[in-house]
Amino acid sequence: MNRAPANRAAGPPVSRIPALPLAAGLAAALLLSLVCGVAFGSSELGLPRVLRLLGAGLTGGRLEAGEAAGYAIVWEIRLPRTVLAAVVGAGLAATGVAVQALVRNALADPFVLGISSGAAVGANAVLLFGAFASLGVWAVSVSAFGSALVAMALVYLAARTAYGLTPLRLVLTGTALSYGFSAGTTLMVFAADRGEAARDAMMWLLGSLGGATWGSVPIAAATVLAGLAYLACAAGRLDALAMGDETSASLGVDPDRLRRELFVVTAAVTGTVVAVSGAIGFVGLLVPHLVRMLVGAGHRRVLLVAPLAGALLLVWVDIASRTLLAPAELPVGVFTAVLGVPVFLLMMRRRGHAFGGNR
């Protein structure tokens, strides 16, 4: 009996990289990348000078009078932006893992629930029409986060049934409302009578870290860390949920309750990071797949590596967005799409069985 076709269909055995050494290597690379993110920019400072300025800020060392401008660039502009890029990348990657488990769909990402489109409505109300101007520099973030919470509530109420929160209804509801929010955002852009405001709105919609300040970092970091802590504790239940509702129930996991918890956590983290960075796509879709290819599908391993990989990716994407055409700045979302589309298509070609193919 010829079994060659079955063997080919199953594919060759895949070797996995141990998650802990990989995470340690990514953490070291991330620290180095944070320094590079501060060193690179439209104003050339040089790595030795940047290290000296960073050291002076950390230790309280004295600086010469001519170093004041460089110190301000490093500590007030580049460092908060680079740290925020790492926080946002980690948050998007982690919520990508959670959303894919939530809806049991390999093509899901943090934006499939319509949260980012809802946040865009609030952000553009500020950028285009000056809503909530009394909040000052917090106006965009607060308005975006508030509208993200409203979008979350609408999606939840529309998707919920007497039988619980099913993955298919959640995806369909999130997608439908996302189109509605996007249509509202587009209408707002066309109705605006200020060209510069419309440009700012488009930059936000495509993702930008240009408005990063030390004031926006702590809230985003605290929310992402809280979300990571929850997901790490729920990793075993996520493995059970991935096996299906009946199997997870037999293992003592309530799938409906877990989905509600995941929905709230992913919506809160997504709403927070979108509020401070705009809509940056592909990170939450691409990074989880790449990590699973390296370490396997176990959520403990994936959640250990994915946030570090997402942070590393977005730090370098942000560096590219502000240096390639300096002093002009390109939207971060453009770079993630340029990187993500070909890589994702290549992954589908090489691993068709993982995306619904025969082999």
Predicted confidence (pLDDT) per residue in 78-106, tens digit: 999 999 999 999 999 999 999 998 888 77
- The helix or strand, by DSSP H or E, that contains position 145, with its residue range, turns out to be helix 139-159
The domains located in the chain, with CATH, are 69-355 (1.10.3470.10)
Q: Residue 293: exposed, middle, or buried by beta-carbon count in 10 A (0-12, 13-18, 19+)?
A: middle
Contact at 8 Å (CB) between 156 and 146?
A: no
Q: What is the pLDDT of residue 346?
A: 79
Of the candidates 98, 87, 97, 117, the residue with the CA atom closest to the CA atom of residue 314: 87
Rounded Cα–Cα distance for residues 268 and 262 (Å): 10
CA 81 to chain centre: 15
Q: What is the largest CA-CA distance in the chain?
A: 83
Q: What is the pLDDT of residue 306?
A: 96
Of the candidates 229, 333, 269, 341, the residue with the CA atom closest to the CA atom of residue 115: 269
What values do phi and psi take at 160, rounded to 5? Answer: -70, 140
Q: What is the pLDDT of residue 350?
A: 67
**What amino acid is encoded at 338 in this protein?**
V
Q: What is the pLDDT of residue 2?
A: 47
Beta bridge partners of 164: 161
DSSP, collapsed to helix, strand or coil, labels residue 15 as coil
- pTM attached to this predicted model: 0.87
**What amino acid is encoded at 159 in this protein?**
A
CA 145 to chain centre: 15
Rounded Cα–Cα distance for residues 266 and 213 (Å): 24
Would you put residue 153 in left (φ > 0), alpha (ψ -120 to 50) or beta?
Answer: alpha
**Which residue reads 């993630």 in tokens?**
336
Rounded Cα–Cα distance for residues 98 and 248 (Å): 16
Q: What average pLDDT values come out for the chain (359 residues) when binned by 10 residues?
A: 43 67 96 92 79 81 76 90 96 93 82 85 84 76 86 87 80 89 86 73 83 88 95 94 87 90 89 88 89 91 96 95 83 87 77 51
- pLDDT > 90 fraction of the chain, expressed in percent and rounded: 30
Rounded Cα–Cα distance for residues 300 and 240 (Å): 12
Q: What is the pLDDT of residue 4?
A: 44
